[in-house]
Amino acid sequence: MAQLFFKYGAMNSGKTIEILKVAHNYEEQNKPVVLMTSGLDTREGVGMIASRIGLKRPATPIFAETNVFDYIKGLDFQPFCVLVDESQFLQKHHVIEFAQVVDELNIPVMAFGLKNDFRNELFEGSKYLLLYADKLEELKTICWFCHKKATMNLHFIDGKPVYEGDQVQIGGNEAYYPVCRKHYLHPDALDDSM
Distance CA 131, CA 122 (A): 12
* pLDDT(174) > 80: no
Distance CA 55, CA 75 (A): 26
pLDDT class of 161 with cuts at 50, 70, 90 = confident
Distance CA 108, CA 181 (A): 33
User: What amino acid is encoded at 113 in this protein?
Assistant: G
Contact yes or no for 179/145 (Cβ under 8 A): yes
Catalytic residue among 86, 97, 124, 164: 86
Question: Is 88 known as a binding-site position?
Answer: yes
Contact yes or no for 13/141 (Cβ under 8 A): yes
Question: Is 72 known as a binding-site position?
Answer: no
Task: Establish if 151 belongs to a structural domain.
Answer: no
8-22, 68-82, 144-158 — which one is most confidently predicted on average?
A: 68-82
Rounded to two decimals, the pTM is: 0.90
**pLDDT mean over 174-180:** 85
Task: Establish if 51 belongs to a structural domain.
Answer: yes
Domain count for the chain: 1
Distance CA 111, CA 153 (A): 19
Handedness of CA 47, 175, 19, 21 (dihedral sign): positive
Question: Is 16 known as a binding-site position?
Answer: yes
Task: Establish if 170 belongs to a structural domain.
Answer: no
* pLDDT(70) > 50: yes
User: 97: domain range?
Assistant: 4-141
Task: Establish if 35 belongs to a structural domain.
Answer: yes
Task: Establish if 47 belongs to a structural domain.
Answer: yes
Nearest CA-CA partner of 188 in 160, 153, 158: 160
Task: Establish if 182 belongs to a structural domain.
Answer: no
Task: Establish if 122 belongs to a structural domain.
Answer: yes
**Residue 115 has what DSSP assignment?**
S
**What's the confidence (pLDDT) of residue 192?**
47
Distance CA 32, CA 19 (A): 14
Task: Establish if 157 belongs to a structural domain.
Answer: no
Question: Is 12 known as a binding-site position?
Answer: yes
Phi then psi for 180, rounded to 5 degrees? -80, 170
* pLDDT(71) > 70: yes
* pLDDT(166) > 60: yes
Nearest CA-CA partner of 62 in 97, 23, 114, 13: 97
Question: Is 11 known as a binding-site position?
Answer: yes
Active site includes 138? no
Q: What CATH number does the domain containing 132 carry? A: 3.40.50.300
